[in-house]
Amino acid sequence: MLYSIISFFGKLSYELMWLFSYVEIMFTRAYNQIILPVKNNELLKFINTSVAGEIKPIHFVKNGDVIHKTTRNGSLDFNEDYDFLVDTTLSHEVIYDSIPDNFDDYIVSNTEFILTELFIGEHKMKINFVDKSQGYTYAIVNNKIDLKFLMFFIKKHYHHMFCLIFNIPVAELVNGYNLKIIDGNVNMLTINEEQILCYTKNGYIIESVDKSDVVDDSQIEPNLDHLLED
């Protein structure tokens, strides 16, 4: 009798474990095939957050800091001085010098970089202007990689790593850096704080910075985030 009871509960435990495992597998499969693609769908995320009234995809940037966030329609009401604005509506981070007539009128560049490294003195940090795992790409035709952009880009995507490696505030980029790039054709190039890399459809062009457009470091508020605790 006792053996029968033990056998019964043993079989019941096995059946329950099998059932729970089966349910878990089915749930995981359903999540990966149905729920996850829906959650990651950029258009649905945009529609959802737009209906909820939470999304403010237009970011106005000054000296590397986002000074104002608003909607596309609300961007016309912002009258303060700024360096550029970024449309973050989808994963395409589109940069504009001024408010465009049509935010949807842009072209994704085919340009790919094999390696991009930021050098300051003897230290270096690997960065990516296209990162599918993080869900962003700055490889957009007419997007410019320059000092003002790098200050914003690093604060948004690499701030902690920058502080760990260089142990200086991001604002110190004004004192000089080298951005070393290996492009898709294995060409090696280096640009500094006095140069601009501008994306084209199938490549890029490098220009010199307009001296009248240089960052005024006296207007940058000090940031002590680089002072790390031991």
Q: Please, what is the average pLDDT of the chain? A: 82
- DSSP character string of 127-155: --SEETTTTEE--BTT-EESHHHHHHHHH
The phi, psi pair for 115, rounded to 5°, reads: -150, 140
Answer for the pair 56, 70: CB distance below 8 angstroms, yes or no: yes
- The pLDDT > 70 percentage for the chain reads 68
CA pair distance 135, 133, nearest whole angstrom: 5
Q: Which one-letter amino acid corresponds to residue 135?
A: G
- pLDDT recorded at residue 55: 82
Residue-wise pLDDT for 72-96, tens only, equals 999 999 999 999 999 999 899 999 9
Q: How far is CA 66 from the centre of its chain?
A: 14
Pairing relation of β-strands 123-126 and 113-120? antiparallel
The pLDDT of residue 32 is above 60: no
Residue-wise pLDDT for 39-49, tens only, equals 445 555 555 44
Q: Facing residues of 60 across strands? A: 68, 85
- pLDDT recorded at residue 229: 43
Average pLDDT for 176-196: 97
